[in-house]
Structure 1
Amino acid sequence: MLDANIKAQLKTYMERLVAPIELVASLDDSAKSQEMRALLEEIASVSDRISLLENGVDARKPSFSIGLVNQPARIRFAGLPMGHEFTSLILALLQASGYAPKITDEQIEQIRGIDGQNGEHLRFETYISLSCHNCPDVVQALNTLSALNPNIQHVMIDGALFQDEVETRQVMAVPTVYLNGEVFGNGRMAIEDILAKLDTGAAARDAAKLSQKAPYDVLVVGGGPAAAAAAIYAARKGIRTGVLAERFGGQVLDTMAIENLISVPHTDGPKLARALEEHVREYDVDIMNLQRAEKLIPGSAGSYHELRLANGAVLKSKSIIVATGARWRELNVPGELEYRGKGVAYCPHCDGPLFKGKHVAVVGGGNSGVEAAIDLAGIVGHVTLLEFGDTLRADAVLQKKLYSLPNATVIKSAQTTQITGAGGKVDGLEYTDRTTGQTQHVALEGVFIQIGLLPNTDWLKGTIELSRFGEIVVDAKGQTDVPGVFGAGDCTTVPYKQIVIAMSEGAKASLAAFDHLIRSSVTA
């Protein structure tokens, strides 16, 4: 099941096991159980510190637990953790043995201090798809909590393998996390996000610590390619540099195949995001992740700019580079918000497997929309693509591929007006035929919205100049209309929203900020 190269790497990793562990499998006669048995046998064969038992009694079959020998296991996988989840498996093996996770001492202490609920363990269940690139972060975070705290248990559940559960719980987006039977969260969550939800006093403590930080020379707001480049270029100048990000990696985290980053023939978003963060961390940069900027208060000549955060903290800096990127554009039609996560989705790679054999729609005829329809056609029963204009805007090669698919339908001149539902989930979509003016209804079970991006600049309205599209207006050097405040990347008026362009714009804005600093003086 594992090729020789992967098996050799696994053997090397398993040399780090701190204590003997055992894998306890719950299997039946299915083909997937046979695959799981083969995988677990190969894992057990690479180290004499790993034992395999097949006497598991879990109702979910196939599944297996990982724990210390003769001790209750707290980490479980219901499904084969391959693809994006293979790293989750390796980390779970190591951490279950007592291997220290790569998180801060403060986080470890915080995790160990979490109590159960009313004397009960915290039982987390995470529904994933193996094609989801957001899911591993959540699985790994919850496995880490389980490895460190005996009051916490976690199971990863492959939604495509346990369709009955998905239907019963109406799970229509991944990752979806349950805590003791109730929905805990949806979408990407880092360990900091989970701890913040479990430890209600964490936000106040964070705000107090952030407000005590000394002023920066350059404060970068954002966590994507533009922000990373800006931080690196600033730090290399030897000046005090900070990065404030809602999630490091930004929109790149939601991108799969990246094949146009010069000198890198092929990579994917999560891999690139990790590389960006690792590069930034090579320098003396103060990274403040999972923090949201709420208001920019420009300083007058000779004073600091202030940045007010959602948690109440205030940061000061001599110059600020805003590189907050963009987010998925919404349709803003009835039913969209109501059925988000219940049939309305924005990531076909993540959520597509949950709609296996079903009828879904893609709204949007650009490259992203057509690519989504092509990908979904290989999973779902039928995909209908709706385009507002009278022609598709995607590249010709993508259109040719889409039209060749037997289970794909294209409807042009279609203005989506409503997403309908029943029983708490999507059951269809209404659109107006812009040629005839007639209203049509398409019965389906999922709607994937792919109509472009919106800049993350709402919090800047009335502070700096924005275009009619909400983009930050910048000059050739990235300077805004406020001296000492710069913009870079997809949130600005710079055309062509591409990773390589965002990186270059971040570097340029950082150089311009440094030039501003040496030509001006700021006093406290």
Structure 2
Amino acid sequence: MTEQKEYDVIIIGAGPGGMTAAVYAARANLKVLVLDRGPYGGAMNNTDAVDNYPGFVDVKGPELGEKMYQTMMKFEPEFEYGDVQSVELDGNKKIVKTDNGDFVAPALVIATGADHRKIGVPGEEEFSGRGVSYCAVCDAPFFKGEDLVVVGGGDSAIEEGIYLTQLANSVTVIHRRDQLRAQPILQKRAFANPKMKFIWNAQTEEIVGDDNKVTAVKYRDKETGEEKEVPAAGVFIYVGILPQSDAFKGLGILDEKGWVVTDEQMHTSVPGIFALGDVRAKHLRQIANAVGDGSIAGQEAYNYIQSLND
């Protein structure tokens, strides 16, 4: 029989929200385990610069992650590497099954985040954080007065494209179809925006750059087969975002797209299971609101443990 290590709270994910939840739970004198399949810091590790997190005028993403980790470990939670395969329920117990053994606790906090779909072209990985971005709210201020490209044609692509026009010189939308998939009200705003341009029936082929920065995007005209290039200092890619929630499919806490559904107190429909940050069904996905979610989830986990002892 597999040995099961027992805790008061298990937190799956060591991004900003998960680490904040650990701080609040461990400060309340609970026995806390933080699990992650990779380095602590989450998506911050892929962020070159953060300039919209209060208290830090200019900080690298990995540096901010390191500071959050040091704050968390001051309160002495346990930190383990493990890829979560599934979660099972046994009365009040939540059994977390990983490739590194099983862990058990009455309270579980899901902080696994979400991944942006990649387009898989040359230059995308190479220039990530150096002109390639998946978040206009995060990175638009770094491209003031520049010419930018948005890849995609859905709600997120058009909404974020409109947002970029507040700071950019121009925003060119490259879309593989001959019409947008975004809702009509967004299309109307985009077509009326003098800074927005559109390239239709175009397949993005390569992101070009030099000196560690993006300079252009190559695309192929799907009707003529001709390859063309549009100059750009930045490329914002919006072809989908995927919640990292496969391990929780059997719990009945996901919506039809795989996002974890919670109330404002981070409670899911299963007592003692909480979720926070980018894996939740929400609109804005930022470090600041992941931290806010984490403080609530950590405190609510404490309240749940107390209720079991009443």
Scaled to the shorter chain, the TM-score interval is 0.7 to 0.9
Report what 1:519 is aligned to: 307
Provide the rounded CA distance (Å) in 2 between the counterparts of 1:312 and 1:270: 25
CA contact (8 A) 2:148 2:170 kept: no
Give deviations 1:145-173, integer Å, cap 9, x for gaps.
xxxxxxxxxxxxxxxxxxxxxxxxxxxxx
Instruction: Determine whether 1:241 maps to 2:32.
Output: yes
Does 1:267 find its partner at 2:59?
A: yes
Question: How many residue pairs get matched?
Answer: 269
In the aligned structure 1, how far is the partner of 2:126 from the partner of 2:254?
26
Q: Deviations over 1:85-109 (max 9, x none)?
A: xxxxxxxxxxxxxxxxxxxxxxxxx
**Among candidates 273, 280, 296, match of residue 87 of structure 2:** 296
1:219 aligns with 2:219: no
- Determine the structure 2 residue equivalent to 1:136: none
Q: 1:219 to 1:412 in 2, by over 3 A?
A: same
Matches within 5 A, 1:42-441: 212=3, 214-246=5-37, 247-289=39-81, 291-301=82-92, 304-309=93-98, 311=99, 313-331=101-119, 336=120, 342-345=122-125, 347-349=127-129, 366=136, 374=143, 385-388=150-153, 392-400=161-169, 412=198, 414=200, 417=203, 419=205, 429-430=219-220, 438=223, 441=226
C-alpha separation between the residues in 2 aligned to 1:402 and 1:428? Answer: 15
> When the two structures are superposed, what TM-score results if normalisation uses the length of structure 1?
0.45
Q: Which has the higher contact order (CA 8 A, sep 6+)?
A: 2
Measured after TM superposition, the shift of residue 273 of structure 1 is 0.3
Give the conservation status (yes or no) of the 8 Å contact 2:151–2:236.
Answer: no
TM-score by length of 2: 0.72
The question of 1:505 aligning with 2:303 is answered no
Paired residue for 2:192? Answer: none
Specify every segment of 5 or more residues in structure 1 that has no aligned partner in the other structure, as ranges: 1-207, 353-361, 404-408, 421-426, 433-437
CA contact (8 A) 1:325 1:491 kept: yes
**How far off is 1:364 after superposition?**
7.5
| CA shift in 2, pair 1:288/1:431, >3 Å | farther
Q: How far off is 1:411 after superposition?
A: 5.2
Could you say what secondary structure the match of 2:17 adopts? helix
- Pick which of 513-522 and 266-275 moved more: 513-522
Deviation at 1:250, TM superposition (A): 0.1
- 3-state SS, counterpart of residue 260 of structure 1: coil
SS in 2 for 1:288: strand
Give the counterpart letter for 1:399 in structure 2: A
Distance 2:6 2:57 in 1: 40
Counterpart position of 2:211: none
> What pairs with 1:26-37 in structure 2 (closer than 5 Å)?
none
Name the counterpart of 1:442.
227
Question: What secondary structure is seen at the aligned counterpart in 2 of 1:267?
Answer: coil
- Where structure 2 has 5 or more consecutive residues not aligned to the other structure, the ranges are 173-194, 207-216
Contact 1:367-1:393 within 8 A present in 2 as well: no
Percent of paired sites with the same residue: 21
Shift of 1:509: 0.9
Task: Give me the whole-angstrom Cα distance separating, in 1, the residues matched to 2:73 and 2:258.
Answer: 31
Q: Is contact 1:242-1:285 (8 Å) kept?
A: yes
- Aligned runs of 1:458-469 on 2, under 5 Å? 458-469=246-257
